[in-house]
Amino acid sequence: MMVDQHGPVDVLNHTQLLDQGERAAVALAKLGVRPGDRVAVLLPMSLESVVVTLACIRLEALRLTLPVGDHLGFIRHRIRTSGARVVITAGSCSVDGTVRDVKSGLDRALWACPDVHSVLVVQQLARPVPWTPGRDVWWHEALDAGPVPGGPYAGVMSSTPEKPVAPSTSRPVPAAAPAALIFDDPLERRSADDTDQGWGDRPAEDGTPGDLIRFLNEKPPHHL
């Protein structure tokens, strides 16, 4: 269950989802995540998991999804070989009716992962969570640590470098258009070759009904 400034929520509208994704991206950037970095994620299917994905997309970081369960050797291997320095984990969660102490298992795996310097902990169940001061941070506190620069997500991260400037005699070079997530239905868009004219209605350049002639002269006659 996700927690925002108004308390626990289990449904987010589009605006709230984008805002949470931006806040998560800002929190990860403060922890040193940069484009191309791996972010290890040990979460069940949840709203937080979606938000983490949005944050990684905005930072151009790579999400490394780890399995929830008794896979400590595999988790340790994946974190070490990926070079991930930030891990996002559930404190504990319920999987198929079974409560799993995810953070306890992760802590055992991290004994052999010295490069990990930050662990964001998502509190999904009201259960005790083992804690390492200086390394572990509550997910909801990291997202609420400060306002998002510029308000709701505007397509640019606060950590985006300034526009490159050409020589003093020239105007600043415009930055490339930022990536964006589009949630509309592509089937509602008009295709590039869509017109108000049907097949056979478009005349050829010489005035003859070009489409119709091509249709009738088609060999072999697939239309018959």
- Taking only the tens place, the pLDDT of each residue in 114-133 is 999 999 999 999 899 999 99
Is the pLDDT assigned to residue 194 strictly greater than 70? no
The residue extents of the domains of the chain are 2-143, 199-224
Q: Which carries the bigger pLDDT value, residue 28 or residue 195? A: 28
Tokens linked to 111: 């004994």
- H helical segments located in 32-134: 47-59, 72-82, 102-110
Rg over CA atoms, the chain: 26
CATH 3.20.20.120 correct for 2-143: no
Q: What is the mean pLDDT of the chain?
A: 77
Residue 170 has pLDDT above 60, yes or no: no
**DSSP label at 110?**
H
**φ, ψ for residue 41 (rounded to 5)?**
-125, 120
Tokens standing for residue 211: 């489409």
Backbone phi and psi for residue 17, each to the nearest 5 degrees, phi listed first: -65, -45
Per-residue pLDDT at 185 exceeds 80: no
The amino acid at 102: V
What local confidence, expressed as pLDDT, does residue 152 receive? 46
